[in-house]
Amino acid sequence: MITLIVTFKLPEDLSRSELKSMYLENAKMYQETPGLVRKNYLYDPEKNLGGGCYIFKSRTDADAWFDDKRIAWLTERYSTPTLKYFESPLVVNNENNKIEENDFG
């Protein structure tokens, strides 16, 4: 499993409700993203940052989704994103009361 944290600077004049509307506009496409397990939308009003926390089945899936076209789309819509990849060797899932071990190294 791969956890990917994506952040980007938001336009200064963008309100919280406008950002939520922008997020809702594209939320459905993530339901059909190959290899995506979960996405949480992020917002930091103090730093004026938006973004997402993505859980992908593999780095290959994450790289396939975040190709040059996707980066260009994010840059045009918000600003140039920063991507940070992490391996997720263990997940505590309180929704199903399980501790999930994943491939690690």
pLDDT digits (tens, 9 = 90+) for 32-78: 999 999 999 999 999 999 999 999 999 999 999 999 999 999 999 99
| Domain total of the chain | 1
Taking only the tens place, the pLDDT of each residue in 81-100 is 999 999 999 989 999 999 98
Q: Which residue range is the domain that position 96 belongs to? A: 2-101
d(CA 98, CA 92): 6
- CATH assignment of the domain containing 71: 3.30.70.100
Rounded CA separation 32/15 (Å) = 28
Q: How far apart are CA 33 and CA 97, in angstroms?
A: 26
The pTM score is: 0.90
| DSSP symbols for 13-43 | T--HHHHHHHHHHHGGGGGG-TTEEEEEEEE
